[in-house]
């Protein structure tokens, strides 16, 4: 018993200090894209055509990006052409789908739930995670939130096994036709009032599978979404930041 206590004291406190202390992320981390100005119309057209997922478009003042479609590719062809670069900013979550699209304007981050919903969920939020044909990348990074370093439960947020014990759904994957009815039935089993969170590019807009007849291009056309967390997959810090913003903790 004493040896266990000594070892525990030797190891010290392992839980991260986020959100009180900003996280230290790898230099390879690809955060919120920064669009570059000064490109000619021809260069902008080439950058738009180069993006294989349709994340870039021509805006009135220049290029415009949709983070709901962006896969944050390591070999992004638009970045190679000088149209954008990836910053180290992990803050990506928004409350509205239209806020995922931006050019030069300030990116609008997620705000808190209304007063009534905060009274219900502000100190205790139970989520049922549904993988609607995901590749397991988003699912794996959400599981990381339960590890000692992140310790999601210290914020009163937990993943539960049954939708009947949940306050909302955390959805990943593009929602295949085979998962459509299962997702809708799971949503129906969650008691009112309830939340829906779309985590990852697939859940938001279909990801690389967008346009396939076998998927629903995400959850937006099926259920009312309260929080969008972009990324492919979203970094655990990005997901945690979005959840805390939803609960008025950021």
Q: Report pLDDT digits (tens) over 170-184.
A: 999 999 999 999 999
The whole-number pLDDT of residue 3 equals 85
Q: Report pLDDT digits (tens) over 217-226.
A: 999 999 999 9
The pTM of this model reads 0.93
The closest of 227, 230, 238, 223 to 185, measured between CA atoms, is: 223
| Confidence band, pLDDT 50/70/90 cuts, at residue 194 | very high
What topology is assigned to 115-246 in CATH? Answer: Rossmann fold (3.40.50)
User: How many whole angstroms separate alpha carbon 19 and alpha carbon 6?
Assistant: 29
The whole-number pLDDT of residue 19 equals 92
**Nearest 10 degrees: Cα torsion 58, 66, 117, 242:** -140
Q: Report pLDDT digits (tens) over 73-117.
A: 999 999 998 899 999 999 999 999 999 999 877 899 999 999 999
Contact 198, 171 (CB under 8 A): yes
């Amino acid at each position: 018993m004493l040896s266990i206590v000594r070892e525990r004291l030797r190891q010290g406190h392992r839980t991260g200090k986020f959100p009180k202390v900003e996280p230290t992320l790898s230099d390879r981390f690809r955060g919120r894209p920064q669009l570059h100005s000064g490109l000619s119309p021809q260069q902008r057209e080439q950058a738009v055509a180069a993006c294989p997922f349709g994340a870039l478009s021509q805006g009135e003042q220049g290029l415009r990006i949709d983070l709901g479609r962006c896969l944050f590719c390591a070999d992004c062809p638009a970045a190679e052409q000088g149209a954008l670069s990836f910053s180290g900013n992990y803050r990506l979550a928004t409350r509205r789908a239209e806020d995922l699209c931006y050019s030069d304007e300030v990116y609008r981050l997620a705000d808190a739930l209304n007063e009534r919903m905060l009274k219900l969920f502000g100190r205790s939020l139970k989520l049922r995670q549904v993988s609607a044909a995901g590749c397991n990348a988003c699912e794996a990074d959400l599981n990381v939130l339960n590890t000692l370093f992140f310790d999601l439960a210290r914020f009163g947020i937990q993943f539960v096994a049954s939708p009947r014990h949940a306050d909302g759904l955390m959805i990943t994957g593009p929602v295949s036709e085979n998962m459509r009815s299962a997702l809708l039935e799971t949503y129906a089993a969650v008691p009112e009032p309830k939340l829906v969170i779309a985590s990852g590019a697939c859940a938001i807009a279909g990801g690389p599978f967008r346009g396939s007849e076998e998927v629903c291009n995400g959850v937006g056309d099926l259920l009312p979404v309260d929080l969008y967390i972009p990324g492919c997959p979203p970094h655990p810090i990005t997901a945690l930041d979005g959840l805390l913003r939803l609960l008025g903790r950021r």
